[in-house]
Chains A and B, each alone.
Chain A
Amino acid sequence: MALSAEENGRLTGLLSEHAERVVQRWTEVATASLRGRLSQAELRRQVQDLHRSMVEAGRGGSFDLESESAGELRAVLAELSRGRARQGFTATETAVSVYGLKDVLLELLESDADTALRDYVAFSSLVDQMGLFTFESFVRTREGLIADQAEQLLELSTPVVKIWEGVVAVPLVGTLDSARAQVVMERLLQTLVDTSSPYAIIDITGVPAVDTQVAQHILKTVVAARLMGADCIISGIRPQIAQTIVALGIEFGDIATKASLADALRHVLRLTGAETARRQPRRES
């Protein structure tokens, strides 16, 4: 998609000759599409950067976005789309900032009708290429943001809290998929070791639906905790969830299940209380 030397010369000539007018019109077109969400001064600065790096790329020889001389232009485009993606602009709004150049070029070429059409087609394909590059950077930044947020969500949504001496609780919130279940399991087991708590309460009040897969994850966690020598109680089972569990035929076996976290804590305290009560006379004897 590289321009020929002749076309390149004409484009660079046009851009540098009418520098002030190009920047002015380009900024206007871009501003119109962004509806005042970015200040005119800020936009003008960005357009000026783009314009300058385009002229530089043109002077550096053949005008090709892939070439070495266009390195700065690529950097400016990437920076622009990264900024837009972070500020929450849509892909269209970002792309118009680049495609706006087409309108400007068309206006400039109208005065010279001779080679206008051929040049315009060549120029606009270059602008298309720049636009696609912008899209790519934009999408990459967006994907990065989404991945970061997913990770943050994973960290935020699985706290393990100590609610009593020797008792930790995991309030599960949101849908439990395999990845989250794994994180919950690891964090819970690690906390059991760190605090040497023999009891854990898994509270599923915030889990919207329990299917066989979610139940499987919970059961695995309980079995793993048992292997390590800790006991798990499942609490926060809502009426609909209880009905679903029975309808699906999920067996919790000898795992204690309680309706509320308070009931679960009472159950644990009774267990530990019974143990200490039983052990007390032996220590004295």
Chain B
Amino acid sequence: MERVPVLKIGDILLVSIQVDMSDQTAVQLQEDLAERIVATGCHGVIIDITALDIVDSFVGRMLSTIASISRVLDAETVVVGMRPAVAITLVELGLSLNGIRTALNVERGMELIAAAQADDYDYSAEDEPDDETTATR
């Protein structure tokens, strides 16, 4: 069975889907990803679908499920690299990937996650600046 690799880059898990997804591959990916999020404590997941020519309702639902699982584990999911043809097809089919954040490429996706985390830090940062300044000294 083909398996989709999950790569860790800094605080982000990168999943690049390069094979046609089957039921089994999708379930395996969901399990792998959930385990890795817990094991690494990452707060961002980027799913790269540049290589996918076809995104049907099955893949769409899989992406939604992964996003939901990640959200429960406090990780932001961003789908990146959707091709124009794929986007047009999804619109024509009336499938809008609700609840999934998207970005043009991996770089933008990482920026998006960084920005989202910056928002989170803004709330908690207020009590901490003293610690940070002492740490740098």
Chain B residue contacts of A144, Cβ below 8 A: none
Q: Answer whether residue A86 sits at the interface, using C-beta atoms and an 8 A cutoff.
A: no
B121 pairs with A227, CB closer than 8 A: no
B108 pairs with A196, CB closer than 8 A: yes
Majority SS of interface residues in chain B?
A: helix
Chain A stretch 171-197: residues in CB contact (< 8 A) with chain B: 185-186, 189-190, 192-193, 196-197
Q: Answer whether residue B73 sits at the interface, using C-beta atoms and an 8 A cutoff.
A: no
From B21-29, B37-45, B99-107, the one touching the partner chain is: B99-107
Majority SS of interface residues in chain A?
A: helix
Chain A stretch 155-185: residues in CB contact (< 8 A) with chain B: 185
B84 pairs with A189, CB closer than 8 A: yes
Bound complex: CA A228 to CA B79 (Å): 8
Q: Answer whether residue A17 sits at the interface, using C-beta atoms and an 8 A cutoff.
A: no
Q: Answer whether residue B9 sits at the interface, using C-beta atoms and an 8 A cutoff.
A: no
A224 pairs with B102, CB closer than 8 A: no
Bound complex: CA A159 to CA B11 (Å): 40
A229 is contacted by which of B108, B114, B132 (Cβ under 8 Å)? B108
Task: Indicate with 1 or 0, residue by residue over B83-126, a CB within 8 angstroms of chain A CB atoms.
Answer: 11111101110001100011111011101101100110100000
B84 pairs with A279, CB closer than 8 A: no
How far apart are B88's CB and chain A's nearest CB, in angstroms?
Answer: 5
Q: Answer whether residue B82 sits at the interface, using C-beta atoms and an 8 A cutoff.
A: yes
Chain A residue contacts of B12, Cβ below 8 A: none
Q: Answer whether residue A264 sits at the interface, using C-beta atoms and an 8 A cutoff.
A: no
A224 pairs with B88, CB closer than 8 A: yes
Q: Answer whether residue B75 sits at the interface, using C-beta atoms and an 8 A cutoff.
A: no
Given known pairs A186-B88, A196-B105, A224-B91, the reply for A229 and B80 (CB within 8 Å) is: yes
Question: 15 additional contacts, CB 8 Å, given A189-B84, A228-B84, A229-B112?
Answer: A189-B88, A192-B84, A193-B104, A193-B105, A197-B104, A198-B103, A227-B87, A229-B78, A229-B82, A229-B103, A229-B108, A229-B109, A230-B104, A279-B118, A285-B132
